[in-house]
Amino acid sequence: MPKNNAGPLTLLLVVSSVVLSALWFSTQSSSALVVYCAHDAVYSTEILAEFERQTGITVEPRFDTEATKSLGLVQLIQREQAHPQCDVFWNNELLGTLALQADGLLEPYRGAGWERMPDRFRDPQGHWVGFGARLRVWIVNTRQMTASTADIEQLLELETSRIAMAQPMFGTTLTHYCVLAQTWGLPRLQQWHAELRRRELREVPGNGLVKDLVAAGTCDVGWTDTDDTFVALDAGLPVEMLPIRVADKTIAIPNTVAIIRGTTRRAEAQQLVDFLTSQATELRLAKSTARQVPLGPTTDEELPADVRPLAKWASDSVDLRDLLPVREQVLNWLREEYAP
């Protein structure tokens, strides 16, 4: 009987087929533009879908948790720097993006969106550009007190203050603390923070929970962002907002977008940067339930009525670009403060 060589040959063909199939699927997967996104998925998903529709470029977004999303994604990009998995980082704040720039992990690009933004909301070399800002605000329960700066100042003097705040190691509250540290000096911030905690400050994992506590009347006031406050206002809850001012400046925290060093999809990444920083996207964010504030040129007629005052507040905001050194000081202190 002739010897049958079909077994080894068949095995070789099967193995080759599996390898080629794996390579094909890997190629197909790698054709997607990978976007790490710290902005809320409820808003960002539809914008990325519109980009896909207009350009034909497939986008693969990756999100993170509510409490740690901006810091968590920054740390992930830092860990992956030898083998980058991300092409574009859509951050919902600036300081983490500055940290990536300092590590040399961002590629410069000065496109059409970069051109239309004010200087304080863009990197001079184009490593990142800001768009669609939120503002830090006092959210006030109007059944508990009137929404006035004087009343809030009186509340801060009480022995037991019914104030809520997100833990300051993450997100926009971290940026807020960095502004305070830059303006007051770290020792004064540490003293102020300790005093608030002594007065039973309610610290929660995120700004959304601050909004919930104030809207329910559990706390009288809290620190949060404009987008969270609008959630309560749209639900008809008894709240109002006032801009937080530090040294007579507001705190406007932009979204930022940056291209990750080492991307193999540079052309597609540039298209997404231009799309996100366009007037059309900024106006779309302004008209969303988040009411994010356009930073590039717009007219009052183009803005929803409830965004117009926010645009005026944002035009008088502090420049956040020099906060990276103080961010490290604040984070080092907070890691010790909140160590288990």
pLDDT, mean of residues 6-17:
40
Q: Strand, helix or coil at 326?
A: helix
Lowest average pLDDT, out of 25-39, 258-272, 321-335, goes to: 25-39
Owner of token pair 């197909």: 28
User: What pLDDT is recorded for position 20?
Assistant: 32
What is the crossing angle of helices 69-79 and 95-102, to 10°? 10
Q: Which residue has the higher pLDDT, 207 or 12?
A: 207
Q: Which CATH architecture has domain 134-250+328-337?
A: 3-Layer(aba) Sandwich (3.40)
Within 10 angstroms of residue 16's Cβ, the number of other Cβ atoms is 10
Q: Which residue has the tokens 């940026």?
A: 175
Q: What is the DSSP string of 142-184?
A: TTTS---HHHHHHHHTSSS--EEEE-TTSHHHHHHHHHHHHHH
Is it true that 32-132+253-314 and 134-250+328-337 share their CATH fold? yes
pLDDT at 16 over 80: no
Per-residue pLDDT, 98: 97
Instruction: Provide the pLDDT for residue 135.
Output: 98
Contacts of residue 228, defined as CB under 8 A and 6 or more positions apart, other chains included, come to: 139, 207, 208, 210, 211
pLDDT at 4 over 70: no
pLDDT value of residue 156: 77
pLDDT attached to residue 326: 96
Length of the chain counted residue by residue: 340
Q: What is the rounded CA–CA span in Å between residue 317 and residue 315?
A: 6
The 10s digit of each residue's pLDDT in 109-158 is 999 999 999 999 999 999 999 999 999 999 999 999 998 888 888 887 77
Q: Measuring CA to CA, how many Å separate 35 from each of 25, 39, 59?
A: 19, 11, 7
CB of 113 closer than 8 Å to CB of 132: no
Q: Specify the pTM.
A: 0.86
The pLDDT score that the predictor gives to residue 28 is 38
Beta bridge partners of 252: 135
Of the candidates 73, 111, 114, the one whose C-alpha atom is nearest the C-alpha of residue 93 is 73
Contact 132, 254 (CB under 8 A): yes
Nearest to 224 by CA among 238, 237, 209, 235: 209
Helices (H), the chain: 6-30, 41-55, 69-79, 95-102, 112-116, 149-156, 171-184, 186-198, 207-215, 226-234, 266-276, 279-287, 308-314, 324-337
Where does the pLDDT of residue 204 fall: very low under 50, low under 70, confident under 90, or very high at 90 and above? very high
The mean pLDDT value of the chain amounts to: 89
Residue 10 pLDDT grade (very low, low, confident, very high; cuts 50, 70, 90)? very low
Domain 32-132+253-314 CATH assignment equals 2.60.40.1120: no
- Answer with the residue of higher pLDDT: 12 or 273: 273
User: What are the residue boundaries of the structural domains of the chain, listed by start?
Assistant: 32-132+253-314, 134-250+328-337
**For 219-245, what is each residue's pLDDT tens digit?**
999 999 999 999 999 999 999 999 999
pLDDT at 279 over 80: yes
Q: What is the pLDDT of residue 66?
A: 53
Tokens of 49: 């879908």
Cβ within 8 Å of residue 87, ≥6 positions away = 33, 34, 35, 259, 260, 263, 264, 265, 268, 269
pLDDT number for residue 30: 58
pLDDT, tens only, 82-119:
999 999 999 999 999 999 999 999 999 999 999 999 99
